Amino acid sequence: MNEITLYRYENRDIRITIEARWEGEELVVEGYDIGKRVEEYWGDSDYEYSARVPAQEAKKLFALLGVNQDDKTGLLQRLAERFCTNTAYSEFRHFLDQHGVYHEGFSWT
């Protein structure tokens, strides 16, 4: 498994999707919110956000989350267990900051 959905929600006013995936040795967690509620809040109908953890830093996550080193599928599954709510992206970024794991994050509307 190279990708997993952390959170998905949809109703007539909003659709939220947050996913985690491996791009080579780099871990990417990203999401997008689309719909009327997003437009009311941001002034645009879609909001996208992404966090990238470089390969050397991603290696730290295996130990932090209790996953055997280099078990990429296991790490994705652990992420899905731990970060599985509407705030999954924010919680993941907070976890990285809390444990000194370097990452680059950005968002755009």
Chain segment 4-48, per-residue pLDDT in tens: 999 999 999 999 999 999 999 999 999 999 999 888 877 878 889
CA–CA dist 4, 77 (Å, integer): 7
- The domain spans of the chain are 3-108
Q: Is the pTM of this model over 0.85?
A: yes
CA–CA dist 64, 16 (Å, integer): 27
List alpha helices for 1-109, DSSP H.
36-42, 55-64, 72-82, 88-98
CA–CA dist 51, 23 (Å, integer): 12
pLDDT in tens, 62-106: 999 999 998 999 999 999 999 999 999 999 999 999 999 999 998
